[in-house]
Structure 1
């Protein structure tokens, strides 16, 4: 996470917290970022050097006229004025993390070869919640390259229990034995 993204995300978080609108601002900012992610042409248009900042802000305000939070609308204008709109995804990720921290939540992503069944998913969420002392929001991502087992990403940590990792460790051990 860049220092710029952290600074801009924290500024928005402070406004959201000060005005007791963390949930509303997070929801609106999520909607904005989701649309920008899905409409690559919009991002390219806003980053076009031949448009001045007033033109870019006008485009954004028309596209996001349904955004209810005036703070989010003003924030988008600031990102354009400061030439930081290109950092919107990184800023959003940091802002969301700050909101989650404030709400006592942590997001976790678990890679598996097949989808987790509900019982295993609940058990993993409970174990991670105990380990991190926070409520866990778990996302299951299917990734055949791990061969089996699971890789969990949570709170900046990686817990790698994949078959791929175990095979790599055995290979390293065998190579080190051969060198002795």
Structure 2
């Protein structure tokens, strides 16, 4: 995976730089997510991965599927990815682009996994404590994961905070071995 992220980094950086120059960071963000969703379709991915299909056909197909959901600059970026045989990097490019955007805007994306659903008040309180701990604004995506048994697991950037019962049990198991 790190090799793919390394290949994707220059594309993500270039996309973010251009989006920033044109004041269209949110538009690029939405467009990249849309392209990633299209490529997640099994039929589309089989077609674009087929070496017997020409780059011109792949490019035309992708632009047709995107329609007016992506602006012309993102369409040009998409064509560049097709011709450089880098469509497979789109999920990595999207993730890296979002990290650059978050860094530029002064927030961090946090994936929060809880054993039980959080109330609005609990979410707000938890977000506030995370902001203090990490020193940045937080955009939280909360997911219920019953396998945690209790507590929370937070992934924010390269930080992982495991306050789950499952995590504590694993730590105890390691200690006892």
**TM-score, length basis structure 2:** 0.92
> Which residue, out of 72, 77, 80, partners 1:78?
80
- Structure 1 partner of 2:12: 9
- 1:98-117 alignment to 2 at 5 Å? 98-117=100-119
SS for the counterpart of 2:36 is helix
Q: Give the CA deviation at 1:36.
A: 2.6
Gapped regions of structure 2 (runs ≥ 5): none
CA distance in 1, matches of 2:149, 2:137: 29
In 2, Cα distance between equivalents of 1:150 and 1:27: 29
**What is the 5 A alignment of 1:18-97?**
18-37=21-40, 39-97=41-99
Judged with a 3 Å threshold, the aligned counterparts in structure 2 of structure 1 residues 48 and 171 are, in CA distance, closer, same or farther, namely same
Query: Per the alignment, in what secondary structure is the counterpart of residue 62 of structure 2?
Result: helix
Q: List per-residue Cα deviations over 1:43-102 (Å, max 9, x = no partner).
A: 221111101100111111111121241111001100000010011111111111111111
The partner residue of 1:137 within 136, 139, 152 is 139
Q: What is the aligned residue count? A: 174
Which of 121, 144, 150 lines up with 2:123 in the alignment? Answer: 121
Distance 1:61 1:85 in 2: 13
Runs of 5+ unmatched residues, structure 1:
176-180
**Does the aligned pair in 2 maintain the 1:67–1:73 contact within 8 Å?**
no
TM-score of the pair, normalised by structure 1: 0.90
Residue by residue over 1:94-138, the C-alpha shift from the partner in whole angstroms, topping out at 9 and shown as x without a partner, is: 111111111112111111111112111111111112222322111
Structure 1 moving runs of 4+ over 3 Å? none
Q: Is the 8 A contact 2:12 2:96 kept in 1?
A: yes
Aligned residues of 2:111 and 2:154 also touching (Cα < 8 A): yes
Contact 2:32 2:90 in 1 (8 A): no
Higher mean alpha-carbon deviation, 105-114 vs 127-136, is at 127-136
SS across alignment from 1:64:
helix
